[in-house]
Amino acid sequence: MKHLMKTALVAIGAMTMVSSAAVAQDSELVVFDWAGYEDPEFFTAYTAKHGMDPTFTYFGDEEEAFQKLRTGFRADVVHPCSQSVPKWIEAGLIAPLDISRIDRWDEIETSFRDIPAFQKDGEYYFVPVDWGNTAATYNTELLAEADIQSLYAFADPVHKGRISLPDNVDDAYALGFLAIGVKDWATATEAEFEAASQFLRDVHQNVRTYWSDGASLSQLMQSGEVYLAWAWNETFSTMSYEGFPIAMKRDTDEGASSWVCGYSKTTNAPGSEDKFYDFINAWLEPYTAEYIVTWWGYGHSNAVAMAGMSEADLAAVGLETSEKLRAGTLWQGPVPSALREAMIAEFELIKAGF
């Protein structure tokens, strides 16, 4: 039944995508986002109210977005993840929010919403909307679960040329730190950072390519070129419902990672402030929560909406929780600025083969 529902959603989503091509883009709200988040099902209430989708422009990772905004690029809304928010606040790139205009503010999961690093001088700068995991994801016809009981499988030469990692510094270092036994990267020592970097260098020898978005990774895994990836829930969710032999293993010996991302208002926003809040309110609707869980396999920050979903449905997309899984999780929370800058610089060297 769940598979049939998913198939129907795929068809509906495809039709929506086609029809959205005819929907005008609203020049009064420019959203600077990850590719894929232009999906109109995420903000149906906004489009219903204004008769137009927002205008979207894209970044490949948060450092690219940070540098582009810092050099004067203008947008109204931006979609950072938790580890970047303090840096963006201090750089003056994002503005404080008027939470009285966010209709479902009290429904947001407080463990995401009230993190002190997302606040300054008593004001909030970040609205969490989506969360998920990054974990070992593999082709069950080409690998057995026992083959990836440890994250050290990523560095095993037997898998040379069959592995893909995210082209994303935070996800990459989540893997590196987990592999060496660090669950709290905010307290990592220099020696632990060097060990995590060395692990990523070892893994680099096996990497076929660094993936930049879920769709490109799915293509690599569908073709069989890649059979083991460090991936988001989206890959497991969409590929499994499409009938591909895939599994996501969050309970490796070393664990998995979790993250939360959300929206902020830019300080140089040229568009409509009213439409900014309409967009945020649309994202926090229960419909959006149901859609992102069912179709994308990600969690939503609306805790009330999430509480109404069945454990079976959450487990089907890899979002079930347990004390064991939580104990084995590296939370991609804010990191000290010096460590984050070192991670960014070192990851570029690793990808270049140095």
Whose tokens are 């990459």? That residue is 172
Asked whether the predicted pLDDT for residue 350 surpasses 90, the reply is: yes
d(CA 293, CA 289): 6
pLDDT of residue 327: 76
Q: Which of 102-116, 128-142, 320-334 has the lowest mean pLDDT?
A: 320-334
Instruction: For residue 77, give the H/E element and its range.
Output: strand 77-78
Provide the whole-model pTM.
0.85
What type of residue sits at position 33? D
Which domains are seen in the chain, by residue range?
2-131+259-316 (3.40.190.10), 134-257+320-351 (3.40.190.10)
- Is pLDDT above 60 for 11? no
**Average pLDDT, rounded, for the chain:** 90
Beta bridge partners of 55: 30
What's the pLDDT score for residue 43?
98
Percent of the chain surpassing pLDDT 70: 92
When pLDDT is averaged across residues 247-263 and rounded to a whole number, the result is 95
The span from the CA of 235 to the CA of 253, in Å, is 22
Q: Which pLDDT does position 19 carry in this prediction?
A: 36
Torsion angle in degrees (nearest 10) through CA of 214, 218, 224, 230: 30
Is 80 exceeded by the pLDDT of residue 124?
yes
Tokens 């010996």 belong to 253
For residues 351 and 330, what is the distance between their CA atoms, to the nearest angstrom?
22
Mean pLDDT in residue range 179-201: 97
Report yes or no: 81 and 173 within 8 Å, Cβ to Cβ.
no
Residue found under tokens 């419909």? 287
pLDDT tens digits, one per residue of 40-90: 999 999 999 999 999 999 998 899 999 999 999 999 999 999 989 999 999
Cα–Cα distance measured from residue 274 to residue 29, given in angstroms and rounded to the nearest whole number: 10
188: tokens are 């990592």
Q: What is the pLDDT of residues 326-345, one digit of tens each?
A: 778 999 988 888 999 999 99
Of 130, 132, 134, 133, the C-alpha closest to 301 is: 130
| CA atoms of 306 and 317, how far apart (whole Å) | 13
Q: How far are the Cα atoms of 19, 43, 48, 67, 276 from residue 12, in angstroms, in the given order? A: 10, 16, 17, 37, 27
Q: Is the pLDDT higher at 22 or at 296?
A: 296
Tokens of 266: 């830019």
Mean pLDDT of 207-216: 92
pLDDT tier, 261 (very low <50, low <70, confident <90, very high otherwise): very high
The pLDDT of residue 13 is above 70: no
Contact (Cβ atoms closer than 8 angstroms) between residue 318 and residue 236? yes
What's the half-sphere exposure (Cβ side, CA atoms, 13 Å) at 309?
Answer: 27
Q: For residue 92, is it left (φ>0), alpha (ψ between -120 and 50) or beta?
A: left
Q: What is the pLDDT of residues 77-106, one digit of tens each?
A: 999 999 899 999 999 999 999 999 999 999
Half-sphere exposure of 226 (CA within 13 A, CB side): 25
Structure tokens at 220: 């690599």
Look-up: residue for tokens 């495809």? 14
End-to-end CA distance of the chain: 50
Whether the predicted pLDDT of 294 surpasses 80: yes
